[in-house]
Structure 1
Amino acid sequence: MFKQFELLVARCDAINQIKMERALEAMNEAGRRMLSMLPVLLHYHHPHLPGYVSGEVPCGIANFQPDAAQRKFLFTQCGHTAEPEVKECCLSAVYTMGSTSSIGQSTVSDLDIWICHDPALSAERRALLEQKCQFLSRLAEQHSVEMNFFLIPENKFRVGNQAQVGLDNCGSAQHLLLLEEFYRSATRVAGKRLLWPLIPVEREDEYDALAAALFSTGMISEDDWLDLGGVGHIPAEEYFGSALWLLYKGLDSPYKAVLKILVMEAYSAEFPHTDLLAVQAKRWFQQHDEFGLSLDAYYLMLDKVTDYLTKLGDTKRLDLARRCFYLKICDPLSRNVPPQHGRWRRDLLVKLVRDWGWDHATLQHLDSHDQWKVEQVKTAYEELLSSLMQSYSKLIQFARRNNISESINPEDIGILSRKLYTAFEALPGKVQRINLKIAPDLHESDLSLIQVPPGHLNRQGWYLYKYSLKPHDIIGRAPLEYNGYLSKLVAWAYFNGLMVANTRIDIRQAGSDITRTCLHQFCQDLADTFPVELPPASNLALSRPCEIRHLGIFLNLERDPTADWPEEMPPVLEHGEDMLCFGARQECLIGTVDLVYRNSWNEVRTLHFNGLDAVVEALSTILSKMHQDAAAPDAIDVFCYSQYYRDEIRHQFTELVNSCISLRLALDKQRMVKLLSVGEHRYALFLERRGVSVRQLSSAIDFYRQVSDNKLERQTAEPDNGLHVPPIVDAYASEGLIQYFFEDNDNGFNVYILDENNKVEIYHEYAGSKEDLVQNVNRYYTMTHQRFDFTEQVINFNLPQFYELVPGSDSLQVTPYRSAMREMPQQASG
């Protein structure tokens, strides 16, 4: 056995050398230098080295000896002829994973680096190492290299996974599936060799026992070998969390995500006898002397997906998977250019596209993806999203068939589902972002908006075109988008990058008061008010009800009551005149109200109100989107496009909105009433803890009756038990969400459930497990509620939110529910 073991070690080293050479070959000069010198920066702790952090930063990579180039770099940086002293080796090994060294690697591929370390590291020292890694990431970024570090304790995959979801951290969404991906794609940069590839593949289920025997007999030493554990059986529970994570990663890397989630789908179809790609690669490694495609992580994925979809007869998704694979490689075969990433990649790709039967036109189309515009991006977006959702749906069906619970923590389900909800769920008025890094630039030279009045063949409303209004440009062209109101189309064009500073915008209205000048001003106001991009919403924000953070209010954009006034003699404005009840005719000078706002989940929403009730409906809608304990918006910008008295209308409406918001957020009031005169009508806005309602008043007597009788609807599961809803629950009520609040007591806990309309159910002294309740509720809403409908794939991402009521200094406070399983600090993972 020892001779066979030595043979596999030598083969493993030779293959790792080939993979390292291929990784460096695919990088630019800066990337090669960063990866080559990375072991030096991690092994030594010296103030003259880049990324230095003061303090007891863990350093020292096991068995690392710098080569000549690394030693030269070290001496150049530190100014010594002798190496700096390394007193301890806290770092077991440094590995790359993912596409690095595979056919899927390109010059723009990011580098995912695993730093495996002693699990006994203190939290303080680990934090210092994380800080150093952040410095190194920023250093790499300065040289246009994306380098992501993940700190992996050697026992990470042997104990419960307490990591939290982050920007590049899958948290509890993937655990053994993450290890499986690592094993099939790992390339050793420095440190201990991996033990896993050397354990006989036919005895994978006995991995732990065999590894322990090798160590205990002294055949191998823990000082030389990295043992992260086996992957003999991956529980079905992991597939749901993995699917959520891959959908989320699809926002930034859609081509890669499509391939990876198809692999998960194929795995689930083979369950419980899944032939894991890592095990396939290990089998090939142990049976062959040389390096081959069966050890290439990305080719393995393509091969698995091809076999699975071919058996299904799903040629549509198979073609998409091949296009995703081709676009991930970034080697344009239709152009007569030298290979960018090595001849072997080019030769393999040429063979593949020949086998697929692609013609030159197909290659030209794919190779020009950096020049795609909105039509091509919309088509690609719909294809990618359809495939992602179809895979996700099949994995949900797999979970239902096997009656499995999720291994992903409830709070991670909440965070990931909310990220997907904000990105993918199409809702009326929501601005859908279609460019998932599919193309770099969607700007258009010309955009035109055409209004169709009632009674025509086409639907009444507005149509957006990417052409000028010149007949030879626009006749026979299809519109890009339709909407019933103009502001939604302009916002869609702006936030999707079609409308930029030098875009020529024209309009043809039929029944609206908007002019070309007003349209241009609106476009400018929108661009001045809202940046196109902002940092992603934080996990904390996503765990709370969404709140309006930036509100833009645009008055009289489509309908301007002052446009009908005679130019030679407009009505005289008296001092203190009410713009909502103007002159002897008591005319409301606001005809339409358009809202564009960005919320705390980083969604952009639009709303349009017109007619006699536009003002009241707009105000009640704004206020209903603020629970009473919400923070006031960071900014409120009001614009007016009236022909007359523009500033006066804007000023008065700004004051009205601010006063209403102040009343809504008044923490010391259970109920407030705001009276409004709009035109000839009188209204009362009732601002209560759990919502906002509006009543039209016919007289003073009617007002007093409404004040005494008006109550928001309430339902309780146990109406006679004397249990009341804590005020903090009412204050946190947020329309459009299902919210669960847990309150501990001596006999269990109370459960307060607010539905999407803020009706409440109360369950007193619930004796079950919160953990089980949360998982069952999530599973119910995931598998039975039909909310997201895209190409017949019904997906629900608007999962309930869960909170705990905890005692504060003088009253109850609300905190996001956290799983009792999570005891340890955050751990990074790829």
Structure 2
Amino acid sequence: MIRPHQERPIHLGSPGEEISIQDLQTIKHRFKRLNQLREQRVQDFLLPRQQAFLDVLALLFHCNFPMLPGFISSTTPAGIPEYNPGIRTINAAKQLAKNFNYTRPVSLVYPIEGLFLMGSVGSIAFSKTSDMDIWLCHQSDLLPGAIDELQKKATAIEVWAASLGLEVHFFLMDSKQFRLGENTPISTESSGQTQHYLLLEEFYRTAIYIAGKSPAWWLVPPHEESNYTGYIKHLIDNLFIPEHELIDFGGFDAVPAEEFTSATLWHLYKALHSPHKSLLKLLLMECYASEYPQTGWLCQDIKKAVYQGDFMSADLDPYLLIYQKVERYLQKAHSHGRLALARQCFYLKVMGSSDNTMDSQTRAAREKYMQHIAKLWNWPVSTIENLKYQRLWNIKKATSEHAVIVQQLTQCYRMIMGFARDYVAQNQENSNDLKLIGRKLHAFLEKRPGKIEIITTRSEVYSKESALSIVENRLPDGDDGWALYLKNVQMATAGDFEPIQKCRTLVEILCWLVINGLYSKQLQLQFSSQSLKMPNDEMHSTLTQINHFLTQNFNDDPPLETYQTPKAQLSSLILINMGISDDEALCVMSERSDALSYGMSRECFIQTINRISLSSWGEITSSQGEGIEGLFDSLTDIINNNKKPLSPGGLKFVCHTPARAKGIIFRVEAVFNTLVKLFAKQYHNRAPRYILPGGTSFYVFQSVNQTLGYKKLATKKQLLNELARPQEQFSTIYFDQAVLENTPIQLIYSLNRPQVIQLFYYESKADTTIYIVDERGGLHIQRHNKANPGYLLKQYAVFLESILNRNLFETLLTIEYCEIRKSVAGDFSSNPVQFKATPPNSELNLRITGEATNKGIVYTIYCNEKEFSSLDHGNQVFYAAYQHILQFRNGKVSYPIYITDIDLPFSAFRVDNPEQLQTIHYLNYKQKIEDKFNV
């Protein structure tokens, strides 16, 4: 018995059985009637001026008329088979172009094979904010120039549609290429790079036929779905239907398992920013995967209804079909919590979100529709009423919903990864697209200390809070923590309330508050803390700075290709001394105005550092540090890990310290700019060092293995030892202004050059000081009491030229001599000195040589022609030489002994090869032995 609105069932035989050509035509007409019904629903939903878009859509691609929207040229590919515009279309065209007159094309060549709308446009979920995806199918043999013309026309029509208030996206496609898996088009809801068959299933389920050839899939009966390719071939070969009447996108007779993995990951990716919109599709992917390899496609349900004849009476809404399948799946699995979430997602999709502009008539009709669905599927009585309060969500409700959603996303992720392990080949599981989406999911879902959680439901918050409280509390491990509460809460009463967010640091709370949309200038904030003081103006100023920083710099949804490259920091905001705005120590005045080492007591004004950083993978992280080393830790981390090229604009400083803020910011910006200039790029054969004061200490910055680090030197002596340290390559020294002032060392290093040994001498009333900077920047300092400068230079020159003459170094080095002078004003200057090493014969020639043996170094010391060896004197060899030297002294007068040459194996200098050896090694060894001789 056939029910009202039901037509007779049609059975198309398998190959070898009877197939009625009339039945084939009937199936085509049934599908077209179903599509006309869907198109009319869309038209009914559109505004009158928007309805013209669908009225003339096919006509615009059927002919080229200069006054109609999208006209490019008269040679733009045009013409659609089986299309003849009706009266409504022609009248709509005349409204757009008064002189339009339709003439049937005489050509039998039709470059446009078909036009189809797809996606939510033909479903109950379509809204005024929905977009329209349109497949514009063209012939496979179109030349590239013709395809370009067609794309220009499609783009121009998109612009025209936008003027009507419609968001339209055309996707040019070649059905042959698509069927072969080449050049897969995408929709705004699907990634053609990560799925093919599931996109095809969505097309067959949601597509609205506008004009052109009929999809071949219509004519493959449900029982022959697994034999799709063979059945189409049978129909064409046996002339049941002409091939030129069909457009063939393919079937589901060979769906690979990796499609479910890629599609699920894609919808997980979309769900991070539109969870309710994507969760039903995620659950659908889970249903499909659970049925693999005998998947029950939803589009087949539509096909079965068409073949059975009840397609006009059954509710075949594409979005309802998703919900029904998910409902059955979750009921069978007894997943009541997930089922409640699925119902919520379906309701929100149909009824729209809080910012929806749905008119009252449409809203009333959809509310009635939802009541019908709830009754049909036996929803709890209170479900609809509870879901209506979606528009009244506050941040507490949104946060709790976010937790539920993240749990579901995580469960879906684990499910599909398990499916991939069971069904997907390893090379497919590790494909590039899956890797990128996996990185995106991990970056968003991973929880770690300091990372700011972005709630997926923040856009659903309708009721914004006017008052919040930030309260310091004690964590179970004894550390301080912070909590955010609704309304007015104090530390003393905080235990009686449930916080909406808890974090270890204050900056995390502030950042979470801003990024999740809770901050506004009108927000009243109660601050309760023992360790920090935050006046209301400082609190709002800090929040304003954070809000501006995130608004200007943060992208919460980076393009997928961003995850192709390793994660890198993009920009940072550093808050200095946040909540420490009334420290009396910062009010002391002094002529020494360096904020890092202020006054006679060398006070550092940097007390705390709070940093917010943004990554290229859409993450927000925070960190906290103490004092100047907390600042330097942040600066070096930015230099090392920020995306290159790095510029000073990648970092912003904020400080609210009264009377000192500008000076502090100016100082730390100058330090950072210097670090960027010196270390943001890697230089070949150059390892600069930057030295600046911090408190009572000094800090040396240098890159080692392309990583910038720093070391603390507590005293001036440690600093000089650092300057004397051998270097692997030439190291230019950059001194901060307040380092080693009242010494000529800054002047000396300003003249330093690679491959040059520079000897400077400075004569004062009491002594003469020798400064030697070697070919790699190592500094040797030696003070000589009551010494004749000329005699000293002669001794050093003999020594330096002796070691150079043996060609111990890889390249030929030169020696320069300079005199340092000091003006009355205390300024140092340098003057070159012309000097040659020609020691008189009467001088003592003291050479120290040695060779390496299994038992250590065997020394041989030559005092003029006298030889002293470890073989004769053992470990007393230096003492024996010293006793011999004393014989040359007149009346046992004590005067310095100077070594004229050193020729020792590498092990004596604790190096392994000649490339490591530099002049500073010899100078340090020379001084060590001379100190023993000159006791």
**Length-normalised TM-score, structure 2:** 0.69
The offset of 1:173, in angstroms, is 0.7
Q: Matched residue of 2:441: which SS?
A: helix
Question: Which residue of the partner structure matches residue 267 of structure 2?
Answer: 246
CA distance in 2, matches of 1:554, 1:527: 13
Q: Matched residue of 2:85: which SS?
A: coil
Q: Matched residue of 1:565: which SS?
A: helix
Question: Which residue of the partner structure matches residue 652 of structure 1?
Answer: 667
Alignment of 1:477-488 (within 5 A): 477-488=497-508
Contact 2:471 2:494 in 1 (8 A): no
The offset of 1:555, in angstroms, is 1.1
Q: Which amino acid aligns with 1:78?
A: A
Question: Which residue of the partner structure matches residue 204 of structure 1?
Answer: 225
Contact 2:574 2:654 in 1 (8 A): yes
Question: Which residue of the partner structure matches residue 195 of structure 2?
Answer: 174
Q: Which amino acid aligns with 1:590?
A: I
Q: Which amino acid aligns with 2:120?
A: S
Q: Which amino acid aligns with 2:98?
A: G
Alignment of 1:547-696 (within 5 A): 547-559=568-580, 563-565=583-585, 570-574=587-591, 577-611=593-627, 613-626=629-642, 629-632=644-647, 634-669=649-684, 671-688=687-704, 690-696=706-712
Matched, 1:504 2:531: no
Contact 2:611 2:622 in 1 (8 A): yes
- Where structure 2 has 5 or more consecutive residues not aligned to the other structure, the ranges are 1-19, 730-935
CA distance in 1, matches of 2:263, 2:633: 42
Question: Which residue of the partner structure matches residue 24 of structure 1?
Answer: 43
Contact 2:115 2:209 in 1 (8 A): yes
Question: Which residue of the partner structure matches residue 920 of structure 2?
Answer: none
Q: Matched residue of 2:551: which SS?
A: coil
Q: Matched residue of 2:290: which SS?
A: helix
CA distance in 1, matches of 2:619, 2:388: 32
Contact 2:491 2:528 in 1 (8 A): no
Contact 1:552 1:597 in 2 (8 A): yes
CA distance in 2, matches of 1:196, 1:620: 61
The match for 2:330 among 300, 306, 309 is 309
1:113-150 Cα offsets, whole Å, 9 max, x none, are: 22222233344443444444344444434444333332
CA distance in 1, matches of 2:376, 2:478: 46
Alignment of 1:682-721 (within 5 A): 682-688=698-704, 690-698=706-714, 699-700=718-719, 703=722, 708=727
CA distance in 1, matches of 2:122, 2:77: 28
Q: Matched residue of 2:34: which SS?
A: helix
CA distance in 2, matches of 1:275, 1:364: 33
The offset of 1:171, in angstroms, is 2.9
Contact 1:422 1:602 in 2 (8 A): yes
Q: Matched residue of 2:362: which SS?
A: coil
Question: Which residue of the partner structure matches residue 258 of structure 2?
Answer: 237
CA 109–406 in structure 1, closer or farther in 2 if over 3 Å, else same? farther
Alignment of 1:776-795 (within 5 A): none
CA distance in 2, matches of 1:85, 1:626: 63
Q: Which amino acid aligns with 1:432?
A: E
Q: Which amino acid aligns with 1:242?
A: A
Alignment of 1:17-416 (within 5 A): 17-29=36-48, 31-53=50-72, 57-83=76-102, 89-163=110-184, 170-293=191-314, 295-330=316-351, 340=362, 343=365, 348-358=369-379, 361-405=382-426, 407=428, 410-416=431-437
- Where structure 1 has 5 or more consecutive residues not aligned to the other structure, the ranges are 711-830
The offset of 1:389, in angstroms, is 2.2
CA 84–632 in structure 1, closer or farther in 2 if over 3 Å, else same? farther
Contact 1:593 1:614 in 2 (8 A): yes
Contact 1:164 1:412 in 2 (8 A): no
Q: Matched residue of 2:294: which SS?
A: coil
**Length-normalised TM-score, structure 1:** 0.77
Q: Which amino acid aligns with 1:645?
A: R
Contact 1:100 1:111 in 2 (8 A): yes
CA distance in 2, matches of 1:132, 1:610: 61
Q: Matched residue of 2:210: which SS?
A: strand
Contact 1:589 1:649 in 2 (8 A): yes
Greater mean alpha carbon deviation, residues 288-297 or residues 3-12: 288-297
Aligned positions, number? 700
Contact 1:173 1:242 in 2 (8 A): yes
1:56-98 Cα offsets, whole Å, 9 max, x none, are: 5443333322222321232232332423786663221111222
Question: Which residue of the partner structure matches residue 809 of structure 1?
Answer: none
Contact 1:23 1:100 in 2 (8 A): yes
The offset of 1:245, in angstroms, is 0.9
CA distance in 1, matches of 2:118, 2:725: 66
1:781-830 Cα offsets, whole Å, 9 max, x none, are: xxxxxxxxxxxxxxxxxxxxxxxxxxxxxxxxxxxxxxxxxxxxxxxxxx
The offset of 1:360, in angstroms, is 6.1
CA distance in 1, matches of 2:277, 2:221: 31
CA distance in 2, matches of 1:355, 1:636: 58
Contact 1:19 1:187 in 2 (8 A): yes
CA distance in 1, matches of 2:74, 2:563: 35
The offset of 1:331, in angstroms, is 7.1
The offset of 1:242, in angstroms, is 0.9
CA 115–425 in structure 1, closer or farther in 2 if over 3 Å, else same? farther
Q: Which amino acid aligns with 2:591?
A: E
Kindly report the root-mean-square deviation, in angstroms, between the aligned alpha carbons of the 2 structures: 3.4
Greater mean alpha carbon deviation, residues 537-546 or residues 171-180: 537-546
Greater mean alpha carbon deviation, residues 180-189 or residues 600-609: 600-609
The offset of 1:188, in angstroms, is 0.7
The offset of 1:365, in angstroms, is 3.2
CA distance in 1, matches of 2:441, 2:476: 38
Q: Matched residue of 1:157: which SS?
A: helix
1:696-742 Cα offsets, whole Å, 9 max, x none, are: 335136535877489xxxxxxxxxxxxxxxxxxxxxxxxxxxxxxxx
Contact 1:419 1:542 in 2 (8 A): yes
CA 246–435 in structure 1, closer or farther in 2 if over 3 Å, else same? closer
Q: Which amino acid aligns with 1:378?
A: T
CA distance in 2, matches of 1:697, 1:329: 67
The offset of 1:221, in angstroms, is 3.0
Contact 2:67 2:97 in 1 (8 A): yes
Structure of higher RCO (CA pairs closer than 8 Å, 6+ residues apart): 1
Question: Which residue of the partner structure matches residue 852 of structure 2?
Answer: none
Q: Which amino acid aligns with 1:16?
A: N
Contact 1:431 1:604 in 2 (8 A): yes
The structure that has the greater radius of gyration is 2
Contact 2:353 2:460 in 1 (8 A): no
The offset of 1:235, in angstroms, is 1.2
Matched, 1:419 2:440: yes
CA 444–170 in structure 1, closer or farther in 2 if over 3 Å, else same? same
The offset of 1:359, in angstroms, is 5.4
Q: Which amino acid aligns with 2:517?
A: G
Q: Which amino acid aligns with 1:621?
A: D
Contact 2:395 2:458 in 1 (8 A): no
CA distance in 1, matches of 2:449, 2:77: 52
Question: Which residue of the partner structure matches residue 489 of structure 1?
Answer: 509
CA distance in 2, matches of 1:558, 1:13: 69
1:639-680 Cα offsets, whole Å, 9 max, x none, are: 211123211111011111122122232242464433343223
The offset of 1:617, in angstroms, is 1.7
CA distance in 1, matches of 2:724, 2:341: 64
**% identity of equivalent residues:** 25
Contact 2:55 2:92 in 1 (8 A): no
Contact 1:173 1:407 in 2 (8 A): no
CA distance in 2, matches of 1:550, 1:53: 44
Q: Which amino acid aligns with 2:673?
A: N
CA 57–385 in structure 1, closer or farther in 2 if over 3 Å, else same? farther
CA distance in 2, matches of 1:247, 1:332: 20
Matched, 1:467 2:499: no
CA distance in 2, matches of 1:455, 1:169: 45
Contact 2:28 2:218 in 1 (8 A): no
Greater mean alpha carbon deviation, residues 454-463 or residues 176-185: 454-463
Q: Which amino acid aligns with 1:38?
A: L
Greater mean alpha carbon deviation, residues 365-374 or residues 494-503: 365-374
